[in-house]
Structure 1
Amino acid sequence: PFFLLETEGLITMERTLLIITLPLAFIAILLIVTGWVVYRGYHKRGKVLQKKQDEYRALVENAEDGIFTIDQEGRFTYMNKKGMELLGYAKDELVGSNFATVIAPEYRETTIENFRKRQTGEAVDRYEVEVITKDGKIIPLELNTRTLEYKGEFMGIEGIGRVIEDKRKVLLDKKRLLEELRMDERK
């Protein structure tokens, strides 16, 4: 009969729609779940990265040595708390100023030359300098620097300045004791 043909057509059409929509619904659910998993992964990694950055920042800020960065023109772009304490400057007084202004005159030429070597990619070993604090006090430092590059282009340097006053005092004391021993042996 005529009404059965029409019913069979509806059933066939419903079946076709079901065959098409079920896989599409499955794919949509799969995409939503995958997107959620990816989002959670990025979100979690972002939190971990932020935590690591905060830990690194705290480590640098609370270090016992002065830590600094200098740009391509030789201007301070960063100085940690210890570095600012040593030099006696506030952050806004120091950041943006040329590094050579805090180097004692007798060390300035060598320090500028070491900066130029870094600009050209030449290696620079640790070296000693004397810096002048805001109130004019001279402090001996051992500097250890590293070149900052981006895509092979010189961007500046970062470094650590360690006070060597104590080390010098120990060396002078040892030297004095050795001289005293030698004098005692001669007597």
Structure 2
Amino acid sequence: MTEKPTYKDLKQRTEGLEKEAVEHKRAEEALRESERKYRHLTESLLDIVYEFDREGKFTYVNEAGIHMFGYSKEEILGGLRVEDIITKEDRAPSRRAIGEIFKGNTAVGERTFLRKDGTQFIGEIHSGPIYKGKDVVGVTGVLRDITTAKQAEEALRETQERLSKFMDSAIDGFALLDSHLNFVDINKAAEASFGISKNEIIGKNISEIAPDVKQTGRYDKYLRVIKTGDPFSIDGVVPHPKFGDMHIAIRAFKVGDGLGIITTDITERKRAEDALQNARDELERRVEERTAELARANEELSTEIAERKRVEKELKERGKELEGKTRNLEEVNTALRVLLKSREEDKAELEEKVLFNVRELVAPYLEKLKKSGLDDKQKGYTNILESNLNDITSPFSQRLSSWYLKLTPTEIQVANLIKYGKSTKEIAEFLNLSSQTIEFHRKNIREKIGIKNKRANLRTHLLSME
């Protein structure tokens, strides 16, 4: 059975609780003071300080964040999420980083953020977990706007790339050396000039790459340029491991604490100068020879001029003859045109007479013949005769004349009967020929009118030509 506490025990416990309450109150006041100082510090920072919970909703953003994002404090703390202020492209990596923070890790990275008005800026973030006891209940961090720095870095990178491309595209060799004449950078033309790769040159002293530099005194001159800042230029012969001695124009000037060297291969220029001098000597010799040749040429030219004048006179006389012949030809052409016109008129008159004779002298008797007692075969012949006469007097006959000329008389008969719907058997009976012979003619007709290897119906094709 538990003993009942005495008054003394109760008094000691009460005093202990009162002491703990006082200590707890002091701790709370110290915590509030510390939090007040922390808030005051964060509100005075130019960087953005933020906190958000497990749902990604902001629970705190300092004044710098409110100003940067363009939202009011009420809008931010009223449900604005982290994903609302991050571009779509950066949301996936942001989720992964937040996931790591809720595992107790920290995260550092760069993201592209969205302001309320839709504009963007690049920020560098440093985030860590917020603990409650042993549990991670949120994320806190600092966000710094590095847009200007990024733009500067990009501008510097682009400038360096342009400079590198410019240097590499240059025909002259460019080399940068430090204050001790060790190579810092060279372009492609300089690589070719030295005859070794850039990786083999960088970091080495110029005396290792060009052993003659000290013997010629250029080494001391380079050091003097670095010391005084006075540039110098010189033309010299430099040994090349592959091409032998090369004539090089060298210009040295101070760059920062180091040296810049521009080399121009003037080997071809030197060769050209030598060749030019040889050409001058040769020219003088040839001028003398040419002077003598010109004297002879002038004499020959005088003779040629006299001959040309004679030829020109003959050409003028022939021109007059041609003019007379031209007039004669024009008169002949006029006469021919008159004859052709007369022939066309005669042709038209003949056609009119043929048509008149067929219609007035033949057609009436054919009509009477049709009305006389004829058997079926005779009627068939009569119909064909009437159709052919109609074709002769119709525009169809005139249009068919060009391809009819390709057919034999029998083929023309067969073509006409096909056009009128006669079968091979009926055509054979009309013409007293075998069916095989008619098929042979049909094949020849198809070939001559250009439908041999086509699936076109022969009768349809003939009718389409009307």
Common fold: TM-score over 0.5: yes
Query: Which AA in structure 2 matches 1:180?
Result: R
Gaps of 5+ in 1: 1-30
Counterpart of 1:113, as a letter, is R
2:71 is aligned with 1:73: no
Task: Tell me which residue corresponds to 2:40.
Answer: 58
Q: Where does residue 114 of structure 1 map in the other structure? A: 97
1:151 equivalent in structure 2: 133
Q: Secondary structure at the match of 2:107?
A: coil
The one-letter amino acid paired with 2:147 is E
CA deviation string 1:101-127 (max 9, x = no partner): 111111011111211121223x34311
How far residue 146 of structure 1 moved from its aligned partner, in angstroms, is: 0.6
CA distance in 2, matches of 1:151, 1:46: 17
Shift of 1:98: 1.6
Q: TM-score, normalised by structure 1?
A: 0.70
SS in structure 2 of the partner of residue 126 of structure 1: strand
Cα deviation, residue 76, structure 1: 0.4
Match of 1:89 in 2: 71
Partner of 1:162: 144
For the residues of structure 1 that align with 2:93 and 2:26, how far apart are their CA atoms? 47
Which sits farther off after the overlay, 110-119 or 43-52? 43-52
Counterpart for residue 160 of structure 2: 178
Structure 2 residue runs of 5 or longer lacking an equivalent are 1-14, 171-466
CA–CA separation in structure 2 for the residues paired with 1:114 and 1:140: 17
Q: Distance in 2 between matches of 1:98 and 1:85?
A: 17
Q: Distance in 2 between matches of 1:106 and 1:174?
A: 25
Specify which structure has the higher proportion of strand.
1
1:128-181 alpha-carbon deviations (Å, 9 max, x no partner): 111111100011111110111122111100011111112112211221221233
* Counterpart-to-counterpart distance in 2, 1:59 and 1:100: 27
Structure 1's 147 and 49: CA in aligned 2 closer, same or farther, altered over 3 A?
closer
Does the CA-based 8 Å contact 2:112-2:123 persist in structure 1?
yes
Q: What TM-score does the superposition give when structure 2 sets the normalisation length?
A: 0.30
Specify the code of the residue in structure 1 equivalent to 2:80.
Answer: S
Alpha-carbon spacing, 1:47–1:71, altered in 2? closer, same or farther (3 Å) = closer
Letter in 1 for 2:93: T
**Coordinate RMSD, CA, aligned:** 2.6
Instruction: Provide the C-alpha distance between the structure 2 equivalents of 1:159 and 1:80, rounded to a whole number of angstroms.
Output: 11
Q: Is the 8 A contact 2:53 2:139 kept in 1?
A: yes
Q: 2:47, 2:165 → 1: CA distance? A: 39
Identify which range, 53-62 or 157-166, moves more after superposition.
53-62
Structure 2 CA distance for aligned equivalents of residues 53 and 92 of structure 1: 21
Q: How many residues align?
A: 151
- Superposed displacement of residue 45, structure 1: 7.5
Which structure ranks higher in relative contact order (CA pairs < 8 Å, sequence separation ≥ 6)? 1
1:98 correspondence with 2:81? yes
Q: What are the Cα deviations for residues 57-108 of structure 1, in whole angstroms up to 9, with x where unaligned?
A: 1110111111100112211000001011111000110113221111111101
Larger-gyration structure (1/2): 2
Question: Alignment partner of 1:67: what SS?
Answer: strand
Quote the sequence identity (%): 23
